[in-house]
Amino acid sequence: MFGLIGHSTSFADARRKALELGYDHIAEGDLDVWCSAPPQLVEHVKVVSKAGNKIEGAYIDSCFVPEMLSRFKTARRKVLNAMELAQKKGINITALGGFTSIIFENFNLLEHRQVRNTTLDWSRFTTGNTHTAWVICRQLEINAPLVGIDLKKSKVAVVGATGDIGSAVCRWLSERTGVSELLLVARQQKPLLALQEELQGGRIMSIQEALPEADAVIWVASLPKTLDIEPSMLRSPCLMIDGGYPKNLDEKFAGSGVHVLKGGIVEFFEDIGWGMMELAEMEIPQRQMFACFAEAMILEFEKCHTNFSWGRNNITLKKMDFIGRASVEHGFSALKLKPELQTPVV
Ligand code: NDP
């Protein structure tokens, strides 16, 4: 069985969804009440892959909402409790979705393996970052030509280049795609220099320096809402892949002629009878999902019960090849630009 741990996109949204699901007592509570609410297994689902493999899964809502991010102990407890529930339900492989994988890494939850009388077995969990990185790379490769960008002659900026997903994307783009130049953007210089050495290339730049030069930009850092980007400083055409969470770049560039694609999202080949992706506000919730969630499904289809994506900067090209091949075989495809957005800008 596969599992997905997720959360609502806001407190207001979570309350609305709780009312719909009949959890009235929680729905009416304030943020303090929600802070003490336990995780809920809200849905079971059966899925058959394009290759004919049959699996079962469950969606666990961690009852975390982004408004709790500043409450360090609450955020930590929410993620650990959801993981404990997944393990107690006997789920073989569970993906940590949305902010939960970031909380796991940034709040160092590896040191908190004991949750009451349960010792968490890390091999049952995956961040899903390998599949996310592979999907983002494929989204770039597939969509760039559709808007008139020849990647072999193009500069691609990776914002969040030293992160788990960003570093994997950089490895793929430099080894496999073969872009003309990689522009490496992050705040800390030391990891940037280490990445540059590993890649034997790439130019370290600030966001403000990189954007006017980039033909394509991959965003794999959660960016502050205040980040101010003047659309007129961007190249035309410019393809932006919004791989961060939350995905808010299309608002920044609405109507500016820059092509913005929601990154790290896949579509299954047929409808899945679940309601869980409505919580994540997917455009086609019966088919679309975060690539990290799909990684848990793929691992279950493949009977590969291991923490496939774990820790930081462990994503190899070999792992990306494996998950990419299995993704296609089982019926997932990377989200493309809508047809009306594909016309090259002249
Ligand atoms: P990491 O924490 O490993 O990496 C974050 C990267 O962003 C680092 O390189 C960091 O470097 C950089 N960064 C952070 N803030 C800034 C800033 N203000 N300016 C420039 N660079 C910055 O994160 P992950 O790789 O695990 O995840 C990256 C993003 O992808 C997250 O937003 C996550 O939510 C999202 N994600 C999306 C998924 C999907 O859509 N399917 C699935 C999983 C994750 P430094 O600190 O030096 O600046």
Tell me, in angstroms, the distance from the centre of ligand 1 to residue 165's CA: 7
Tell me, in angstroms, the distance from the centre of ligand 1 to residue 211's CA: 17
Residues 93 and 213 reside in one and the same domain: no
* Assigned domain for 308 exists: no
Tell me, in angstroms, the distance from the centre of ligand 1 to residue 319's CA: 20
Residue to probe by mutation, ligand 1, list 162, 172, 267, most atoms within 8 Å of CB = 162
What is the reported pLDDT for 253? 75
* Assigned domain for 289 exists: no
| DSSP letter for each residue of 253-303 | HTTSS-EEEE-SEEEESS--S-SHHHHTT-SSTTTEEEHHHHHHHHHHHTT
Q: What atom of ligand 1 comes closest to residue 191's alpha carbon?
A: 47
* Assigned domain for 10 exists: yes
Residues with C-beta less than 6 Å from any ligand 1 atom = 101-102, 128-129, 132, 159-166, 185-188, 191, 220-223, 243-245, 264, 290-292, 312
Range of the domain at 99: 2-126
Residues 94 and 147 reside in one and the same domain: no
Residues of the chain with pLDDT under 50: 346
Residues 119 and 15 reside in one and the same domain: yes
Tell me, in angstroms, the distance from the centre of ligand 1 to residue 162's CA: 8
Residues 102 and 19 reside in one and the same domain: yes
Q: Is residue 101 a contact partner of residue 129, using CB atoms and an 8 Å limit?
A: yes
Residues 178 and 75 reside in one and the same domain: no
SS3 221: coil
Q: Is residue 178 a contact partner of residue 153, using CB atoms and an 8 Å limit?
A: no
Residues 66 and 177 reside in one and the same domain: no
What is the reported pLDDT for 174? 97
Q: Could you tell me the CATH number of the domain that includes residue 258?
A: 3.40.50.720
Specify the residue with its C-alpha closest to ligand 1, atom 1.
163
What is the reported pLDDT for 321? 98
* Assigned domain for 298 exists: no
Residue to probe by mutation, ligand 1, list 222, 241, 288, 310, most atoms within 8 Å of CB = 222
Q: For 306, which DSSP code?
A: S
Specify the residue with its C-alpha closest to ligand 1, atom 26.
164
- The last residue of a domain, from among 126, 142, 171: 126
Q: What atom of ligand 1 comes closest to residue 313's alpha carbon?
A: 3
- The last residue of a domain, from among 101, 126, 151: 126
Q: What atom of ligand 1 comes closest to residue 135's alpha carbon?
A: 41
Residues 197 and 117 reside in one and the same domain: no
Residues 37 and 73 reside in one and the same domain: yes
Angle between helices 317-329 and 164-172 (to 10 degrees): 90
What is the reported pLDDT for 52? 98
Q: How far apart are CA 36 and CA 5, in angstroms?
A: 17
Bridge partners of residue 302, in order along the sequence: none
What is the reported pLDDT for 190? 98
Residues 101 and 142 reside in one and the same domain: no
Q: Is residue 127 a contact partner of residue 119, using CB atoms and an 8 Å limit?
A: no
For residue 338, CA distances in Å to 22, 141, 343 come to: 36, 16, 10
* Assigned domain for 192 exists: yes
Tell me, in angstroms, the distance from the centre of ligand 1 to residue 160's CA: 5
The residue behind tokens 């570093």 is 167
* Assigned domain for 290 exists: no
Cis peptide before 231 (omega within 30 of 0): no
pTM of the model: 0.95
Strands 2-6 and 54-61: parallel
Residue to probe by mutation, ligand 1, list 187, 265, 266, 320, most atoms within 8 Å of CB = 187
Residues 6+ apart with CB under 8 A from 32: none
What is the reported pLDDT for 254? 64
What is the reported pLDDT for 346? 45
Looking at the 3D structure of the chain, how many domains does it have? 2
What is the reported pLDDT for 338? 82
* Assigned domain for 69 exists: yes
Tell me, in angstroms, the distance from the centre of ligand 1 to residue 29's CA: 32
Residues 144 and 257 reside in one and the same domain: yes
Residues 261 and 137 reside in one and the same domain: yes
Residues 102 and 189 reside in one and the same domain: no
What is the reported pLDDT for 33? 93
* Assigned domain for 285 exists: no
- The last residue of a domain, from among 83, 101, 126: 126
